[in-house]
Structure 1
Amino acid sequence: MFRDREEAGRLLIELLKKYKIDKEKTVILAIPRGGVPVAYEVSKKLGIPFSLVITKKLAPLRDPEAAFGAIAPDGSQVIDEVYMKYMGVSSSELEIVRENALKEIKNRIIKYLNGKEPNLEGKDVIIIDDGIATGYTAIAAAMYVKNKGANNVYLATPVCPTDSIPRVKKYFDDVFFYEKSDSPFFAVGAVYEDFHQVSDQDMFFIIEEAKKNGLFYI
């Protein structure tokens, strides 16, 4: 059990310290919202600037929590077509879901990043979330980051299920995780004592703190 996301971030730091990271050419990208407190802890301790990579899950209109994939700002997407068909999602519904997701992503880029996506050309990128389940959002983020010209792209997360590791490794140059779970009923929140929803207010506070400390990458 992790006490909270901040503790999870500190434990990730110990893992990442074992690897030679060129701080001058590396950027941390947090997946909002849960990945932001984790990423900021890593950013502070390692002195690597961080920003956000905003992705959105793709889910049936009638069941927003049942994700069958994810999409990134440039339209990069990963879809489990078997699961999508099992849930009865048609191609026409998929297009509606995609358009809705892209609109939401655009709104969040305006809200959190003042409409400006970070420049990743030639950068090594560490993508951080508070945990992964299916890995869809992390994979969509990796596709997007590589399309933006990043060199090496890594995933760092406190916890992930064992069966998702091979899936995400196909898209990342390396994957770092503190714990893995073999539970068939795995849920990220189950490994945190405090897994409260990160609010917009929390997000803005962290971003402003990072800016004051010269750690927010623009």
Structure 2
Amino acid sequence: MQLPFNDRTEAGRLLAQAVHGYRGRDDLLVLALPRGGVPVAAEVAADLDAPLDLMLVRKLGVPGQPELAMGAIATGGVQVLNPDIVNGLGLSEGAIDRVAETEGRELARRARLYRGERPAPRIRASCVILIDDGLATGATMRAAVSAARAQEPSTLVVAVPVASSDALDLLEPTVDDLVCLATPEPFFGVGRWYAAFPQTSDDEVRTLLADARARVGAG
């Protein structure tokens, strides 16, 4: 696999080829982790002719170092912590709770912004493919997996263009299938492996979801 990917759209097209075997299942559901996972997942969902929706998850950044993930939260009250980070930095329960409260408000805001009055997707008995643009620590995806597992999917798949080997090692025992195109070492960070890695906007997320709903409705 040649790195870096040009952008998230190219990564999504390549990832779609890797999961093409799931095409044709009538229980298939593609769930993106917003915001960066949505352009990737949109390409996969289109190729698989599957519905596209969101798995709403927020990273919990270390106070003063927001890019360093100490854990993540997901809809349904799921919280996953990275004990190496939490213990290594001596983070208190109060500090974690304050960050979780702030990120919880953002999670609720995004649910209203992206879905409006539409209900969350039905995960129970579905073949769910969870997609992000990449995994560094994997904390956010582990929260997404926990939230999805609680709703009893028939099959749970995680698919990403690029990830650290440590993140994959943590995720592999928790899912039915794990698909990753590249595991470069040393990893450095997800953005390192894209030639263009702009922040995905709320408007782009809404547009991609609307396009996917129109595609499924037309089919």
> Among the aligned pairs, what percent are the same residue?
34
CA 1:4–1:88: 2 relative to 1, 3 Å: same
> In the alignment, is the contact (CA less than 8 A) between 1:161 and 1:180 conserved in 2?
yes
Contact 1:44–1:215 (Cα < 8 Å) also in 2 = no
Count of residue correspondences: 214
In 2, Cα distance between equivalents of 1:35 and 1:215: 22
Give, in whole Å, the separation in 2 of the partners of 1:215 and 1:170.
36
- Is 1:166 aligned with 2:169? yes
Aligned residue in 1 for 2:152: 149
Determine whether 1:8 maps to 2:19: no
SS at structure 1 position matched to 2:123: coil
| CA deviation map 1:123-174 (0-9, x unaligned) | 1100001111111111100100111221211100001112221111122111
The amino acid of 2:152's aligned partner reads G
AA matched with 1:213: R
- Work out whether residues 75 and 102 of structure 1, in 8 Å CA contact, stay in contact via their aligned partners in 2: no
- Segments of structure 1 that go 5 or more residues without pairing to the other structure are none
Please report the RMSD computed on the Cα atoms of aligned residues, expressed in angstroms.
1.7
CA separation of 1:41 and 1:96: change in aligned 2, threshold 3 A: same
Q: Secondary structure of 1:64's partner? A: strand
Post-superposition offset of 1:22: 4.8
Please give the alpha-carbon distance, in whole angstroms, between the structure 2 residues aligned to 1:165 and 1:215.
35
Q: Find the residue that maps to 1:28 and give its secondary structure.
A: strand
Q: Which residue of 1 aligns with 2:184?
A: 181
CA contact (8 A) 1:43 1:215 kept: no
Q: Unaligned stretches of 5+ in structure 2?
A: none
**C-alpha separation in 2, matches of 1:191 and 1:61:** 26
Superposed counterparts of 1:9-88, under 5 Å: 9-17=12-20, 19-88=21-90
Q: CA deviation at 1:34?
A: 0.7
- TM-score, structure 2 normalization: 0.91
User: Given that residues 13 and 42 in structure 1 are in contact (C-alpha distance below 8 angstroms), is that contact kept between their aligned partners in structure 2?
Assistant: yes
